Amino acid sequence: MGRTGLFLVFMGILLLMPLTALAASAGKMVSKGNTAYAAGKYDEALKAYEEASVVAPESARIYFNKGAAYYRQGDYTRAIEAFENAALNNRDGVIDARARFNLGNCAFRVAEGQKDHDPRQSLDAYKKSIRHFQEALERDAGFTEAAENIEVVRLIMKSVLDEIKKQEEAAQKEQADAEKTAEKIKQLIEDQQALLDRNMDLSTREREDGADDALQGKPAD
């Protein structure tokens, strides 16, 4: 169990519990993968887990460990797929709860990646994260870390919503300022046009007055 800020992460790996000689063979590969995982060699760990899954293709524990390795690599899409399979294939309530907890972790990381460039979309991922933590609690009422993470995610969602509101208010103010500026420019153009029209009228009248004076034999001013 580890803590990232206030966010609790369960990314432990599981030992395969061999019941037959065939399963024992898979267990050796899982053990090899776990050793590589502990050393931070996630590619090597995944290779061992893949070999183990050939022998035990429906093992929830192998799926779980693969998910943990993918998570450590930052490949949340594959981690989600692995943890979903761990939950679907489990025959152990503890694995089910832990798999759903880690699905919550994955959804949270996806949301964090979206938060800055698409905060509205991140809210959907945060909601999904909360749902997975709630599912973990339903399967293990004593899973306090899941309850704590729900509260953390809710607080983060509130901050995201506040930021969205600020951005919307700023955008509205910017739009209002732009409209005011456009209205001022429009008024200036109209004023300039009116002034030009008046000057044209004066010029026309002066020419007409000059022509009348010429006809009457009077010098023009």
The owner of tokens 């893949």 is 50
Does residue 141 fall inside a structural domain? yes
Q: Which helix (H) or strand (E) holds 15?
A: none
Q: Round to whole Å and give the CA distance between 142 and 217.
A: 114
Q: Which two tokens stand for residue 50?
A: 């893949």
Q: Round to whole Å and give the CA distance between 177 and 157.
A: 30
pLDDT digits (tens, 9 = 90+) for 172-200: 777 766 778 878 888 888 878 878 877 77
Q: Which residue, 140, 80, 73, 72, is CA-closest to 104?
A: 80
* Structural domain span for residue 8: 2-168
Q: Round to whole Å and give the CA distance between 28 and 64.
A: 16
Does residue 16 fall inside a structural domain? yes
Does residue 90 fall inside a structural domain? yes
CB burial class (10 A; 0-12, 13-18, 19+) of residue 204?
A: exposed
CB 38 within 8 A of CB 44: no
Does residue 91 fall inside a structural domain? yes
pLDDT digits (tens, 9 = 90+) for 8-53: 666 667 655 434 445 778 889 999 999 999 999 999 999 999 999 9
Three-state DSSP state, 2:
strand
Does residue 174 fall inside a structural domain? no
pLDDT digits (tens, 9 = 90+) for 107-144: 999 999 999 899 999 999 999 999 999 999 999 999 99
For the chain, the domain total comes to: 1
Q: Which two tokens stand for residue 83?
A: 């943890």
Q: Which residue, 132, 134, 131, 152, is CA-closest to 8?
A: 152
Does residue 219 fall inside a structural domain? no
**According to the model, what pLDDT value does residue 6 have?**
47
Average pLDDT, the chain: 83
Q: Round to whole Å and give the CA distance between 201 and 190.
A: 16
| Interaxial angle between packed helices 93-115 and 60-73, expressed in degrees from 0 to 180 and rounded to the nearest 10 | 20
CATH code assigned at 30: 1.25.40.10
Does residue 163 fall inside a structural domain? yes
Does residue 201 fall inside a structural domain? no
Positive or negative torsion for Cα 67, 159, 123, 144 = positive
Read off the pLDDT band of 217 (50, 70, 90): low
Q: Round to whole Å and give the CA distance between 4 and 132.
A: 18
Query: At 158, phi and psi to the nearest 5?
Result: -60, -40
Q: Which helix (H) or strand (E) holds 29?
A: helix 21-38
Q: Which residue, 156, 4, 158, 132, is CA-closest to 80?
A: 132
